Amino acid sequence: MSAEQRLRDLGLTLPEVPAPVGSYVNCVRSGQLVHTSGGLPFDGERRFTGKVPTDLSIEDGQEAARLVVLNRLAVIREELGSLDAVSRVVSLHGFVNAGPGFHDHPKVINGASDLLLDIFGERGRHARLALGAASLPLDAAVEISLVVEAI
C-alpha cells in the first residue's frame, strides 16, 4: 500500500514544512537514513502548549503528537520527494512536557505511533523512546524526532 495513497484515504493533508526555531535544519540525510529534528505541534500556527495532564489532557497530548508526526512527514516528503520513498520508520523519540508525577507518556506518544502505523502499515513499526521532559521549547506539549530509512 502506498503511504501517499493511504494518507489521501485517511483524508489527511500534510501541513506546510515548519521553519526551524533556531540555527539548524529540519532534517539531514546520511546514507539511507533521514534524521529529522525534533518537531513541535505546528500546523501553520503554534498549538497545544502547556503540560500534560495539568494544562492539557492526555487526549490533547495525543492530538499534539499526531500533529507533530504530520509536520515531520512534511519534512520527510520534502527531502525524499514522496512518502513512498520511505522503506521503514526506524525510530521515534517522543518527549512529553510533563510534571514529576506523570507516568502515562506511552499513551500520549501512541498518538504519534498509531498514526505512523496507520499510514505506513508494517513499514511504520518503529523503535521508540518516550519520556518526560522538564520543559520543552516554546512550551510545546510534545516534541518528537524521527529517523526513517529511504529506499
User: DSSP characters for 93-107?
Assistant: EEEEEB-TT---HHH
Answer yes or no whether residue 134 interacts with a copy of itself by CB under 8 A: yes
User: How crowded is the C-beta side of 85, counted as CA atoms within 13 Å?
Assistant: 15
Show the site string, 34-73: x = touches a copy of itself by CB under 8 A, - = not: -xxxx------------x----------------------
Q: How far is CA 123 from the centre of its chain?
A: 16
Stretch 89-128: interaction string toward a copy of itself, x if CB under 8 A: xxxxx-x--xxxxxxxxxx-xx--xx--x-------xxxx
Which of 32, 57, 78, 151 binds a copy of itself (CB under 8 A)? It is 32
Size of the site for a copy of itself (CB under 8 A): 59
DSSP letter for each residue of 16-38? PPPPPSSSS-SEEEETTEEEEPP
Q: Which of 2, 78, 81, 137 binds a copy of itself (CB under 8 A)?
A: 137
